[in-house]
Structure 1
Amino acid sequence: MTYKISHDRLCVNRKIAPNLSIEQFFNLIEKLGLNKVEIRNDMKSGRVSDNLTGEDVRHLAAQHAFTIETINAVYPFNQLTDEVLEKTRGLLQDARATGAKALVLCPLNDGTVISNQQTEAALKTLAPLFAEYGILGLVEPLGFPQSSLRSAALAQQLIQQAGAPFKIVLDTFHHHLYEGAEQDFAGGVDVQNIGLVHLSGVTDTRPTAQLTDEERIMLSADDLLRSKQQVQRLEEMGYRGIYAFEPFSSVMDAWSEDDIAREIQSSIAYLNN
């Protein structure tokens, strides 16, 4: 059975539009008939809301009848220094001001070993902070060989052990990169614990371990991540949550609004054909 993903379950990450203001980005997404976005703290302005206030962004989203699903991201959530805690609190304030529902948490990704106990302790420390602001925490395992948390199943387990009300972000790129990911699923990633799915595509044929964010584009029949097949399996498992397009490549620096619109439309068509 092929599952169709309705427009109200599709979201677009702002990473696809590095040269658009928040207003231009929101206008474009509304024209495509979509109503969900992710915003970021790593755009060119360096701020979640660019030159706007958080309240401006909240009002803008309300005018478009959008939900802001997440802010990406706290890094590295599992190496909790005073600086990381301060950054987390700042992003939680941004989330509350903009009306974002969740804040994504990414693990350390520089080859430093972080024990499971350290990651669990970080989750325990962060949980009351997120509760204070009324924001959902979404833990995103990164599949890179140097990542300190690669496994969705392990992330699920550590969240449960920490007693944190967090969910996981399943990213089709990072799932592909982590060689144990298929065993993870066989071993029981519960779709009820998935808070968001990130979608991108890769057509670059270099060895999987050499892939970086630079190779992440949109979806097509040539996608080596098999993102469409990953979506179909999640649907079969009963996932009914949000899918967010999150390409990363610098090729998008040269994309016009028309290019962005075409790429989103063709990805949706491919996903649902």
Structure 2
Amino acid sequence: MAIDPTRFCVNRKIAPGLSIESFFQLVHGLGLNKVELRNDMPGGKVTDNLSYGEVRELAQRYGLEIVTINAVYPFNQADDALLAKAEGLLKDANGVGAKALVLCPLNDGTPVSAEETISALKKLAPLFEKYGVEGLVEPLGFPISSLRSAVQAQSLIRDANVPFRLLLDTFHHHLYEKAEEEFESGIDIDNIGLVHLSGVEDTRPTAELTDEERIMLSEGDLLKSAAQVQRLERMGYKGIYALEPFSSVMEAWSAADIEREIRQSIRLLQDQAL
């Protein structure tokens, strides 16, 4: 069965050269109604130079829901500076009407214990409650990441007894060597809050892949993101799929290029779902 188009979302990372309004126009023109904003765009701010009210007005004008802001990093090193950064992004999320804020773990080769991560989740949870924003924990599959496993991330959330959910990313799932053996028996589908999708055609060893190799979905996608989506659907996932490529090649894309690539990715997913 085809996936309801209202379950597709577009991450702003695909359009680094577009203003927020142009990005919103593009997504609306594709017949989609969900977007993700970011705090790592060229302008350096989630809202560029717009006020919260202006972003809300634009979202309303184009019939869009702001699903998340990406991201608090490194959430599992919850010192005073990190908590202040998180609160600033929570103010942004609350201000623009974003439903959730993404939490990414330390990714520099430094190990972080389960106890430290649980402590960080417990420190962050009251801030999220204060601003009425959901927390989505995104494990990163890179070999140097301090939290690589989606199953472990869900376990830590449960142990912390916080109302956060998992953000599952098909790229990071592919990078983590034990992901497949853990997934079907260990994952709680009902506590996946969002799924990020991208594609990779680069044939270098998996452990050497970086964000630069992340493009849109294709027939030659080595991540098998479409097959990952098929399995999620079979297992009962009913949530949102967000297209989130990362490669710098997108800096040269026109609006027409972006539209073409989004349509192609969604068509591939829908063809596989039938």
What is the match of residue 142 of structure 1?
140
What is the match of residue 20 of structure 1?
18
SS at match of 2:18: coil
What is the match of residue 4 of structure 1?
2
Deviation at 1:232, TM superposition (A): 0.3
- Written as runs of structure 1 = structure 2, the 5 A alignment for 1:239-254 is 239-254=237-252
1:154 to 135, 152, 155: 152
Report the Cα distance in structure 2 between the residues aligned to 1:109 and 1:55, rounded to whole angstroms. 34
User: Kindly, what percent of the aligned residue pairs are identical?
Assistant: 66
SS at match of 1:175: helix
Letter in 2 for 1:165: P
2:56 to 40, 55, 58: 58
Deviation at 1:186, TM superposition (A): 3.3
Give the 4+ runs in structure 1 shifted more than 4 A. none
2:32 to 14, 27, 34: 34
What is the match of residue 257 of structure 1?
255
What is the match of residue 223 of structure 1?
221
What is the match of residue 203 of structure 1?
201
The Cα offsets for residues 208-237 of structure 1, whole Å up to 9 and x where unpaired, read as 000000000000110000000000000000
The Cα offsets for residues 111-167 of structure 1, whole Å up to 9 and x where unpaired, read as 001001000100011111100110000000000000000000100000001010000
Report the Cα distance in structure 1 between the residues aligned to 2:204 and 2:75, rounded to whole angstroms. 30
Report the Cα distance in structure 1 between the residues aligned to 2:121 and 2:139, rounded to whole angstroms. 13
Is residue 104 from structure 1 mapped to residue 105 from structure 2 by the alignment? no
Report the Cα distance in structure 1 between the residues aligned to 2:163 and 2:63, rounded to whole angstroms. 27
Deviation at 1:63, TM superposition (A): 1.1
Deviation at 1:38, TM superposition (A): 0.1
What is the match of residue 192 of structure 1?
190
The Cα offsets for residues 79-116 of structure 1, whole Å up to 9 and x where unpaired, read as 11211111100000000000000000000000001001
SS at match of 1:11: strand
TM-score (norm 2): 0.98
Report the Cα distance in structure 1 between the residues aligned to 2:174 and 2:197, rounded to whole angstroms. 11
Report the Cα distance in structure 2 between the residues aligned to 1:81 and 1:108, rounded to whole angstroms. 13
Letter in 2 for 1:71: I
The root-mean-square deviation of aligned C-alpha atoms, in Å, is 0.6
2:118 to 84, 102, 120: 120
Deviation at 1:5, TM superposition (A): 1.4
Report the Cα distance in structure 1 between the residues aligned to 2:115 and 2:52, rounded to whole angstroms. 35
What is the match of residue 170 of structure 1?
168
> Could you list the runs of 5+ residues in structure 1 that have no partner in the other structure?
none
> Could you list the runs of 5+ residues in structure 2 that have no partner in the other structure?
none
Report the Cα distance in structure 2 between the residues aligned to 1:105 and 1:12, rounded to whole angstroms. 18
TM-score (norm 1): 0.98
Letter in 2 for 1:94: D
Report the Cα distance in structure 1 between the residues aligned to 2:31 and 2:178, rounded to whole angstroms. 37
Alignment coverage as a number of residue pairs = 271
